[in-house]
């Protein structure tokens, strides 16, 4: 059984396990994604306050997006940064990658740090409701400690930058 959505597919597949048994596994096949930590300066980044229709609420997040077919992660990071923040970066640094939900999805999120930002006109996707906010490290920590940053990819990326420690 397989269901194809707009960006992802869902299938129940038989997998042979290391112990020799076979199991039916629910799998969301995902093309991959990126998350970007956009640094306005050494001490300020851009956070997004983005409406998530699946949850029916706004979340504090970093810019992110799904890879288009045959798109490389760095190209996706450049595109998403402009679309979601209205800035382009002079320098991108790869920080790592995470598997956000390995129990049921093939998704891998590539995490980048973006520096030397300059304004660049961008167009948000029609289904995105986003407000940008420049924030300092103490403001990020305060939001995190108050439980207001709860998005896993954002927490992982901020941690990789040392902004939560």
Give Cβ neighbours of residue 93 (< 8 Å, ≥ 6 apart): 112, 113, 115
The CATH number covering residue 60 comes to 3.90.79.10
Domain limits at 23?
A: 1-30
Identify whether the C-beta of residue 18 lies closer than 8 Å to the C-beta of residue 11: no
Q: Do the domain assignments include residue 165? A: no
| DSSP 8-state class, residue 42 | T
Q: Are residues 63 and 138 in the same domain?
A: yes
pLDDT digits (tens, 9 = 90+) for 62-84: 999 999 999 999 999 999 999 99
Q: Are residues 53 and 26 in the same domain?
A: no
Q: Are residues 64 and 119 in the same domain?
A: yes
Q: Are residues 72 and 49 in the same domain?
A: yes
Pairing of the two strands 44-52 and 33-41: antiparallel
Number of domains in the chain: 2
Q: Do the domain assignments include residue 40? A: yes
Q: Are residues 113 and 134 in the same domain?
A: yes
Q: Do the domain assignments include residue 145? A: yes
Q: Are residues 141 and 112 in the same domain?
A: yes
Record the tokens describing residue 129, joined without a space: 């409701």
Arithmetic mean of pLDDT over the chain: 95
pLDDT digits (tens, 9 = 90+) for 18-58: 999 999 999 999 999 999 999 999 999 999 999 999 999 99
Q: Are residues 69 and 114 in the same domain?
A: yes
3-state SS, one letter per residue, for 53-72: CCCCEEEEECCEEECCCCCC
Give Cβ neighbours of residue 38 (< 8 Å, ≥ 6 apart): 45, 46, 62, 63, 81, 85, 87, 89, 114, 117
Q: Are residues 20 and 64 in the same domain?
A: no
pLDDT band with cut points at 50, 70 and 90 for residue 124: confident
Q: Do the domain assignments include residue 102? A: no
pLDDT band with cut points at 50, 70 and 90 for residue 131: very high
């Amino acid at each position: 059984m397989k269901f194809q959505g707009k960006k992802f597919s869902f299938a129940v597949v038989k997998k042979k396990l290391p112990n020799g048994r076979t199991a039916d596994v629910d799998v969301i096949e995902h093309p991959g994604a990126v998350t970007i930590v956009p640094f306005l300066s050494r001490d300020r980044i851009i956070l997004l306050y983005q409406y998530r229709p699946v949850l029916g609420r706004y979340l504090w997040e970093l810019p992110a997006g799904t890879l288009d077919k045959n798109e490389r992660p760095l190209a996706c990071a450049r595109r998403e940064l402009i679309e979601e923040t209205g800035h382009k970066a002079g320098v991108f640094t790869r920080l790592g990658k995470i598997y956000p939900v390995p129990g049921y999805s093939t998704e891998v999120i590539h995490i980048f740090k973006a520096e030397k930002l300059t304004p660049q006109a961008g167009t948000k996707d029609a289904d995105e409701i986003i407000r940008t906010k420049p924030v300092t490290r103490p403001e990020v920590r305060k939001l995190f400690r108050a439980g207001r940053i709860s998005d896993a990819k954002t927490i992982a990326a901020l941690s990789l930058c040392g902004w939560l420690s």
